[in-house]
């Protein structure tokens, strides 16, 4: 940064702090700047800028959050102990203990980081260990004084923005750490703006190709979307105006990494990007809480809510203090629009999270609610004591703590927080390990439910235990069955099995192997089975299968279903899955079809047309239907990819007959986007015997389908037949 530029930056900073700090406070911040500038002297960053530009930027981001003068001063001074010969005593003498303590905190965190870095480079195996240490330290610090972490986040944000001159290995390491620790931490502190910026900056380095593709994709859709949103915003603003509600209505921008994650999630469900509905998003900011609900009514008057539902995070705020009403409505032309309604204070919290606390601290008298909302922090520190190993700690951190949460109640009315998607079994393990191990049933809101049902906000849960039950079931670890989400519960189960006798594990392993492989009817010999795994011998394999450390899924992943499939398997032209082409076809979903009008042949140039309900149709580029089509935004570039094979297999379902059985089976298959090419049902003595001919892409998919079918009510057994 050249000198004049630095002057400008400083001027901007000065104006900003003068706008909300008192004169005395501003003076101290300026003194801190002068001290830092002097201490860093002519130190230069790799970017070629003077070093002082870095603490200045760090403090600027903090000032944007309207943080107090102590935090700003510490932001300016955050590298002087580390990089210059300044001691903490000195800082304390000049700036007082509060500021010196903040700087000390940041310096300590930086030390942990540096230790992690050495370990990281020494050996990738210790990567998680280093990560865990950094995390633990961060969390302790948050609990002590969250401002230290805010400074650290701001420091990291600027470092990521200026990361380019670093050698690429370090860049990647830096970006990874940002993605795995800092962005989730910002998320947990409710600082969305920081989170998005950190994520997008890391994404650009970790996957540059994909980053460009997503950027292009968003851009290509932007024009139509902007027009649509503009119209909707105007309509809504006028309506609210008519009803006398003062409001600000605006479209929301989309962030690259969050869009990318959405694309991945949709891909997993074999949906297309065109089904991503919240690309249309509007935010309504009103004056007070009462207006939020009036606005909600007006919106639902204008456009019907989807499924008649909305989420009220005003009545029940998220744990990171997020408050807002969310509703998804059916907008004009049947496009879904996601709408957030909130007051401007809530809006500030939503963008700046915990940092907004300082901005509103003076206004609101009730500091105890703030403390209450930080309950998760205390819980977090409790849990980390429970989790045994460092790897487990990192896992549980990622799934159990950083994900969005649901709030549920114990029979006594105590509130428990669990990651979204959790089940009654997760809840049981959260209450106590022994409750989990002896759990045999659950009642949610007075109704008996399966242990793998998904909990919703506000559910009241009663766990049924049996003292005679010998312990957990290995099925609970099978991901196809969806019993558990929390990593801590899974780890507790593995620990339980690890403690049991080897003899028992071997027996259990053999039992599972026989039972599960019979469903696939592969006719494998033991020595073939061992060769599909990394284990050296039968006993190691069975032991680990029996104690839950190895799963059947890992075994059958390596089995080539092609060897067992029927002869009428089909080869499908598969469309290139690149984002800038089309990312439509998940193999087997059959949502891409060749147009009948022109039946394009391989090697001809083709074009995709997005239909309303039937996925994408592939036309010859010169097809007359294409040339006459007016809705240009429904076209999508496609190209021929490799052929992919769908294997034809038959499965046999035995069940006790009931009304709706066949419908449940077929709708499960269609939810999984599995194509059924034939079925045959025989009924004998209250039993149904159903043979289904389906197309699948690999053994794992087949096995997962079998597991899911087995879980349907009244189904007795499911297996593949020859
Ligand atoms: Mn720094």
Phi first, then psi: what are they for 60, rounded to 5°?
-60, -45
pLDDT at 297: 87
Token pair belonging to 684? 């004998």
Question: Sorting pLDDT into bands at 50, 70 and 90, what band is 557?
Answer: confident
Q: Which residues are catalytic?
A: 82-83
- Gap from CA of 114 to ligand 1 centroid (Å): 12
Q: Which of 389, 388, 495 has its CA nearest to residue 434? A: 495
Output 182 or 567, whichever has higher pLDDT: 182
Q: Which of 117, 129, 122 has its CA nearest to residue 389? A: 129
Token pair belonging to 341? 């309604």
Q: What angle do CA 476, 482, 485 make, to 5 degrees?
A: 85
β-pairing verdict for 336-343 and 281-286: parallel
Across-strand partners of 643? 573
pLDDT at 128: 53
Residues 660-671: what's their mean pLDDT?
88
pLDDT for 533 beyond 80: yes
Q: What is the pLDDT of residues 56-95, one digit of tens each?
A: 999 999 998 888 899 999 999 999 988 888 888 899 999 9
Q: What is the pLDDT of residues 298-325, one digit of tens each?
A: 888 888 887 666 788 888 777 666 788 9
Question: Sorting pLDDT into bands at 50, 70 and 90, what band is 30?
Answer: very high
- Gap from CA of 296 to ligand 1 centroid (Å): 44
pLDDT for 133 beyond 70: no
CA–centroid distance for 44 within its chain? 38
pLDDT at 528: 85
Contact between 506 and 539 (Cβ < 8 Å): yes
Burial 497-520 (b: 16+ CB within 10 A, else e): beeeeeeebbebbbebbeebbebb
Question: How far from each other are the two terminal CA atoms of the chain, in whole angstroms?
Answer: 72
- Gap from CA of 664 to ligand 1 centroid (Å): 58
Output 570 or 581, whichever has higher pLDDT: 570
pLDDT for 369 beyond 70: no
- Gap from CA of 583 to ligand 1 centroid (Å): 41
Q: Average pLDDT, whole number, for the chain? A: 80
Distance CA 361, CA 146 (A): 15
State what percent of residues in the chain have pLDDT above 90: 25
Query: Domain 376-497: which CATH class?
Result: alpha beta
Residues 526-541: what's their mean pLDDT?
88
Which part of the chain is CATH 1.10.3210.10? 3-206
pLDDT at 142: 63
For 286, the enclosing helix (H) or strand (E) is strand 281-286
Contact between 533 and 517 (Cβ < 8 Å): no
| HEC sequence for 451-496 | CCCCCCCCCEEEEEECCCCCCCCHHHHCHHHCCCCCHHHHHHHHHH
Token pair belonging to 527? 């020595």
Which part of the chain is CATH 3.30.70.260? 643-721
Q: Which of 520, 578, 512 has its CA nearest to residue 544? A: 512
pLDDT at 577: 40
Q: Which of 119-123, 309-313, 478-482, 623-627 has the lowest mean pLDDT?
A: 119-123
User: For residue 308, what are the contacts with CB-CB under 8 A and spacing of at least 6?
Assistant: none
- Gap from CA of 211 to ligand 1 centroid (Å): 26
- Gap from CA of 159 to ligand 1 centroid (Å): 7
pLDDT at 124: 44
Q: Which of 66-75, 188-197, 442-451, 588-597 has the lowest mean pLDDT?
A: 588-597
- Gap from CA of 78 to ligand 1 centroid (Å): 6
β-pairing verdict for 247-251 and 281-286: antiparallel
Distance CA 307, CA 330 (A): 10
pLDDT at 499: 81
Question: Sorting pLDDT into bands at 50, 70 and 90, what band is 670?
Answer: confident
Distance CA 255, CA 258 (A): 6
CATH code of 3-206, in short, is 1.10.3210.10
Helix 192-206 and helix 208-242: axis angle, to 10°?
A: 150
Distance CA 330, CA 316 (A): 25
Question: Sorting pLDDT into bands at 50, 70 and 90, what band is 331?
Answer: confident
Architecture of the CATH domain 643-721: 2-Layer Sandwich (3.30)
Contact between 477 and 546 (Cβ < 8 Å): no
Q: Which of 108-117, 431-440, 620-629 has the lowest mean pLDDT?
A: 108-117
Output 669 or 621, whichever has higher pLDDT: 669
- Gap from CA of 305 to ligand 1 centroid (Å): 47
Question: Sorting pLDDT into bands at 50, 70 and 90, what band is 623?
Answer: confident
pLDDT for 392 beyond 60: no
CA–centroid distance for 562 within its chain? 34
- Gap from CA of 58 to ligand 1 centroid (Å): 8
Under DSSP, the state recorded for 124 is: G
Which part of the chain is CATH 3.10.20.30? 376-497
Output 78 or 222, whichever has higher pLDDT: 78
CA–centroid distance for 311 within its chain? 19
- Gap from CA of 64 to ligand 1 centroid (Å): 18
Contact between 706 and 719 (Cβ < 8 Å): yes
- Gap from CA of 418 to ligand 1 centroid (Å): 35
Q: Which of 69-78, 300-309, 542-551, 599-608 has the lowest mean pLDDT?
A: 599-608
Token pair belonging to 659? 């009304």
Provide the residues around ligand 1 (an ion) whose CB is within 5 A: 79, 155
Q: Which of 52-61, 531-540, 671-680 has the lowest mean pLDDT?
A: 671-680
State what percent of residues in the chain have pLDDT above 70: 76
Distance CA 396, CA 494 (A): 14
Alpha helix (H) ranges present in 41-122? Answer: 53-64, 69-77, 80-83, 88-95, 97-122
Burial 411-431 (b: 16+ CB within 10 A, else e): eeeeebbbbebbbbbbbbbbb
pLDDT for 32 beyond 50: yes
Task: Tell me which long-range contacts 170-173 makes (C-beta under 8 A, separation of at least 24).
Answer: 171/205, 172/205, 172/206, 173/117, 173/120, 173/121
Residue the block writes with tokens 């080897």: 502
Q: What is the pLDDT of residues 398-451, one digit of tens each?
A: 555 555 667 788 888 777 778 888 999 999 998 888 899 999 999 998 899 999
pLDDT for 112 beyond 90: no
339: how many CB neighbours lie within 10 A of its CB? 28
Residues 665-689: what's their mean pLDDT?
87
pLDDT at 498: 82
Token pair belonging to 152? 């650290």
pLDDT for 396 beyond 60: no
Residues 445-463: what's their mean pLDDT?
89
Q: How far is CA 293 from CA 235, 296, 611, 629, in A?
A: 18, 5, 37, 43
For 252, the enclosing helix (H) or strand (E) is none
pLDDT for 137 beyond 80: no
User: For residue 431, what are the contacts with CB-CB under 8 A and spacing of at least 6?
Assistant: 410, 416, 463
pLDDT at 690: 94
Q: What is the pLDDT of residues 6-24, one digit of tens each?
A: 889 999 999 999 998 999 9
Contact between 29 and 71 (Cβ < 8 Å): no
pLDDT at 366: 47
Distance CA 566, CA 722 (A): 8
Burial status of residue 368 (CB atoms within 10 A of its CB: 0-12, 13-18, 19 or more) = exposed
Question: Sorting pLDDT into bands at 50, 70 and 90, what band is 192?
Answer: confident
Output 491 or 159, whichever has higher pLDDT: 159
Q: Which fold has domain 209-354?
A: Beta Polymerase; domain 2 (3.30.460)
User: For residue 345, what are the contacts with CB-CB under 8 A and spacing of at least 6?
Assistant: 360
Burial status of residue 130 (CB atoms within 10 A of its CB: 0-12, 13-18, 19 or more) = buried
Question: Sorting pLDDT into bands at 50, 70 and 90, what band is 132?
Answer: low
User: For residue 665, what are the contacts with CB-CB under 8 A and spacing of at least 6?
Assistant: 653, 690, 692, 709, 712
pLDDT for 689 beyond 90: yes
């Amino acid at each position: 940064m050249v000198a004049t530029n630095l002057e400008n930056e400083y001027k901007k900073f000065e104006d900003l702090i003068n706008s909300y700090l008192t004169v005395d406070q501003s003076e101290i911040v300026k003194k801190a700047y002068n001290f830092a500038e002097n201490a860093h002297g002519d130190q230069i960053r790799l970017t070629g800028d003077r070093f002082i530009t870095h603490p200045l930027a760090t403090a600027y981001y903090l000032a944007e959050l309207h943080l107090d003068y102590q935090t700003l001063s510490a932001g300016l001074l955050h590298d002087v102990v580390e990089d210059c010969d300044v001691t903490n005593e000195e800082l304390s003498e000049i700036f007082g203990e509060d500021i010196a303590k903040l700087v000390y905190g940041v310096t300590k965190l930086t030390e942990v980081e540096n230790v992690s870095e050495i370990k990281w480079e020494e050996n990738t195996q210790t990567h998680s260990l280093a990560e865990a240490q950094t995390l633990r330290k961060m969390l302790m610090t948050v609990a002590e004084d969250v401002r230290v972490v805010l400074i650290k986040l701001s420091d990291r944000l600027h470092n990521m923005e200026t990361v380019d001159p670093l050698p690429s290995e370090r860049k990647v390491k830096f970006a990874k750490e940002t993605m795995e620790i800092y962005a989730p931490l910002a998320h947990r502190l409710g600082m969305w703006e920081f989170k998005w910026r950190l994520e997008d900056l890391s994404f650009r380095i970790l996957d540059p190709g994909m980053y460009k593709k997503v950027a292009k994709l968003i851009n290509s859709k932007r024009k139509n979307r902007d027009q649509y949103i503009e119209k909707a915003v105007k309509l809504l603003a006028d309506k609210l105006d008519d009803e006398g509600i003062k409001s600000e209505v605006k479209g929301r921008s989309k962030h690259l990494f969050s869009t990318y994650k959405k694309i991945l999630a949709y891909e997993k469900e074999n949906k297309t990007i065109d089904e991503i509905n919240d690309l249309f998003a509007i935010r309504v900011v009103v004056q007070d809480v009462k207006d939020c609900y009036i606005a909600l009514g007006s919106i639902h008057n204008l456009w019907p809510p989807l499924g008649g539902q909305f989420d009220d995070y005003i009545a029940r705020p998220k744990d990171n203090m997020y408050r807002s009403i969310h509703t998804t409505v059916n907008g004009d032309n049947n496009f879904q629009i996601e709408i957030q309604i909130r007051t401007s204070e809530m809006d500030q919290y939503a963008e700046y999270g915990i940092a907004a606390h300082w901005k509103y601290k003076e206004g609101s008298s009730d500091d105890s609610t703030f403390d209450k909302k930080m309950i998760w922090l205390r819980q977090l520190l409790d849990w980390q004591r429970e989790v045994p190993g460092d790897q487990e700690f990192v896992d549980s951190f990622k799934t159990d703590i950083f994900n969005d949460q649901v709030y549920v109640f114990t029979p006594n009315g105590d509130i428990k927080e669990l990651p979204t998607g959790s089940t009654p079994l997760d809840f049981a393990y959260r209450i106590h390990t022994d409750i989990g191990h002896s759990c045999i049933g659950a009642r949610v809101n007075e109704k008996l439910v399966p242990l793998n049902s998904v909990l919703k906000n506000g559910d009241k849960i009663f766990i049924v235990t049996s003292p005679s039950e010998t312990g957990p079931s290995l099925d609970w670890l099978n991901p196809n069955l969806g019993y558990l989400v929390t990593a801590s519960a899974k780890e507790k189960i593995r620990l339980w099995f690890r403690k049991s006798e080897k003899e028992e594990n071997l027996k259990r392993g053999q039992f599972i192997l026989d039972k599960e492989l019979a469903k696939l009817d592969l006719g494998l010999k033991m020595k073939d089975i061992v060769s599909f795994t990394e284990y050296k011998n039968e006993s190691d394999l069975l032991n680990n299968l029996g104690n839950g450390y190895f799963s059947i899924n890992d075994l059958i992943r390596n089995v080539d279903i092609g060897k067992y499939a029927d002869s009428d398997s089909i080869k499908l032209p598969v469309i290139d899955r690149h984002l800038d082409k089309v990312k439509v076809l998940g193999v087997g979903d059959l949502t891409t079809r060749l147009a009948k009008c022109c039946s394009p042949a391989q090697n001809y140039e083709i074009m995709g047309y997005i239909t309303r309900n039937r996925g994408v149709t592939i036309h010859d580029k010169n097809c007359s239907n294409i040339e006459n089509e007016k809705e240009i935004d429904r076209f999508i570039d496609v190209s021929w990819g490799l052929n992919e094979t769908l294997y034809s297999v038959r499965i046999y379902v035995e069940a006790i007959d009931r009304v709706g059985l066949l419908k449940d089976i077929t709708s499960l298959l269609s939810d999984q986007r599995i194509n059924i090419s034939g079925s045959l049902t025989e009924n004998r003595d209250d039993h149904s015997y159903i043979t289904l001919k389906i197309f699948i892409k690999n053994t794992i998919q087949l096995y997962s389908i079998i597991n899911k079918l087995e879980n349907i009510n009244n189904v007795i057994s499911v297996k593949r037949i020859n």
